Amino acid sequence: MTLIINTLVYEKEIQSGISQLDLVDRIADLGADGIELRREYFKDVAAEIKELAPAIKEKGLLLNYSVPDNIFDDNGNFNQNLNKYYKEAQELGAQKIKFSTGNFYKYHGDLAEDLATLPLATIQTTIENDQTPISGNPDTIFDFLTAVRKAGFNSIFATFDLGNLAFTGFDPNLAAKKLAPFVAYIHLKNPMLNAEGKMQNTESLDRGMFNWKAVIRYLPKDAQCAFEFAMPDDEVIGKEMEKFHDYFNGKR
């Protein structure tokens, strides 16, 4: 089972000033299959892409690109910045690029015409259930991807984010069943309420409000998985990776 490390795993170190480039060797040394870069972590997008692309290629890591933007804005307009993000992904050598839907229900354009302006054949596009009321609703993603298929496009898929469902209040098992036909990528994290009553991700897949092993059984076996929860150090990350691989090697 392919396992990607999202750079949010190193959130505290990122906040203290290290760059995503500093993480490439460490993620490779852990034995991960790939890295998921977060656009919001860039200080200088163009300069960092030029450094990251060859470094990641040299380590033989798969590369996914997370963009904190929507396909549609709040008024349902098709996002005119999308091609810029695809260009960045191409320069990085990314195999996947990830967005949220935005307000698809207010969109009244020609979906086939708008999607045809994007280089969908070169990079797999995935749509994530985020932590907002519309884009975080599994029904929104299902309806959008159903419309995408009807428009004749088969290269846009879903990123199933387990942890985000705790923030939006949807049942993860029902969401997994509904979105399974579209899922190509799985973000693994396990949230719970802290002592102050605030929802936050834990530092372990086995600690939290969800049984990730039960939920993941509803999803495609060939979907890539990614860790997307902060952990304190590489030793802990390594132990979580071992737990992940032990499960899939022995029980799936």
Asked if residue 131 lies in contact with residue 168, where contact means CB atoms within 8 angstroms, the answer is yes
Percent of the chain with pLDDT over 70: 99
Q: 252 pLDDT exceeds 50?
A: no
Place of tokens 């298929």: 149
pTM, whole model, 2 decimals? 0.97
Q: 87 pLDDT exceeds 80?
A: yes
Residues near 149 by beta carbon (within 8 Å), at least 6 away in sequence: none
Percent of the chain with pLDDT over 90: 98
pLDDT for residue 250: 80
Residue 108 Cα to chain centre, angstroms: 27
Q: 209 pLDDT exceeds 60?
A: yes
Phi and psi for 105 in degrees, rounded to 5? -70, -15
Q: 223 pLDDT exceeds 80?
A: yes
Q: 14 pLDDT exceeds 60?
A: yes
pLDDT-derived band at 40, boundaries 50, 70, 90: very high
Mean pLDDT of 103-113: 98
Q: 70 pLDDT exceeds 60?
A: yes
